[in-house]
Amino acid sequence: MYINSGYLNRSLIDFKDKSKPLVVGSCGTYRLITHPKLPTYRPRGRIDYQILYVSAGIAHFHFDTEENETIVTAGNMVLYRPKELQKYEYYGTDKTEVYWIHFTGNDVKNILRSYGITDDMRVFYVGTSLEYARIFKRMIMELQRCMPDYQELLVLLLRQLLIAVHRQITNVRKPDREFLDTEIDIAAQYFNDNYHIDIRIEDYAASKGMSVSWFIRNFKQYTGATPMQYIVSLRMANAQVLLETTSYTITEIGRIVGYDNPLYFSRLFRKQKGCSPSEYRKRVRPHLKNTQAHPG
């Protein structure tokens, strides 16, 4: 099982905050691969709002009563309002992947309405766009790192998520466009899962029966980057995290993210970030000792 989450002020306790229109309390993700079951049961609910996004597999929800089961498939979001019964299960056999966020505020109901989420909506289809996962992951990182103005940025990211949802639930897509969006989503997810290994764009396109030029053109139109630019960006972003949070050597980090040649890795990092990996590490961790205390 994979889990990653972040909590405001490092507190796992739900809270109500009426001092601002919108406040993000926590955000996280679960991915079940081999773990048999992950149940959640809150008979009295919580005092804040919660949105869950099923990005892969299926999830089992029980609304109104414990016996009433609803199977929610990938591409759907579930909204829980304060004090509603919360009972749901994820199973490893379903390969479930879920993102979640808790939020509160003095104007949540009106804010949700403004983005097309009416008071009677509980489960709504939003598609399997990778954009949602990107927003959730950014919110998790902001809650973990607590950089200046992060609480304000969390609200902006939640609004960005709600805008994406609003666009989806008000958009009637053409079948050919839906097919294209799905194929690019699958490709982007594959790159996210395998960025650390050697990926040949020509081989990937051929495996999907696409021409290389068609695939590159449509991938860039959809994501704003070519497939290789997208992969390099993933590698550099993860290298940046490793430089900030571990004591691995530059050579080790290069290998972890997919580069056996440390000079080539350093050159690409400088091009992306404006400085070498070692210079970046000195900036963010000036007192780091030259040890090999790898994370356990």
Per-residue model confidence as pLDDT tens digits over 113-123: 999 999 999 99
Q: How far, in Å, CA of 166 to CA of 162, rounded? A: 6
Q: Output 104 or 67, whichever has higher pLDDT.
A: 104
Comparing CA positions, the residue from 172, 157, 192 lying closest to residue 55 is: 192
What average pLDDT does the segment 138-161 reach?
94
Which of 169, 200, 222 lies at the terminal end of a domain, its last residue? 169
Q: Is the dihedral of CA 206, 208, 211, 213 positive or negative?
A: negative
Q: Do 78 and 142 fall within a single domain?
A: yes
User: Would you place residue 176 in the very low, low, confident or very high pLDDT band (cuts 50, 70, 90)?
Assistant: low
Q: Quick one: pLDDT at residue 163? A: 96
Record the tokens describing residue 8, joined without a space: 């405001």
Q: How far, in Å, CA of 137 to CA of 175, rounded? A: 29
pTM above 0.75, yes or no: no
Which of 169, 198, 221 lies at the terminal end of a domain, its last residue? 169
Q: Do 247 and 116 fall within a single domain?
A: no
CATH code of the domain containing 27: 2.60.120.280
Q: Quick one: pLDDT at residue 99? A: 96
Q: Do 226 and 99 fall within a single domain?
A: no
Q: Could you give the number of structural domains in the chain?
A: 2
Q: Do 28 and 155 fall within a single domain?
A: yes
DSSP 13: S
Domain with 156 in it: 2-169
Q: Do 184 and 287 fall within a single domain?
A: yes
- CA terminus-to-terminus distance, the chain: 17
Q: Do 132 and 226 fall within a single domain?
A: no
> Does 167 have pLDDT greater than 70?
yes
pLDDT digits (tens, 9 = 90+) for 87-138: 999 988 888 999 999 999 999 999 999 999 999 999 999 988 888 999 999 9
Helix, strand, coil tally for the chain in percent (to 5): 45, 20, 35
What average pLDDT does the segment 13-36 reach?
89
Record the tokens describing residue 170, joined without a space: 């008000």
Q: Do 145 and 79 fall within a single domain?
A: yes
Give me the chain's average pLDDT, please.
89
- 10 Å Cβ neighbour count for 176? 8
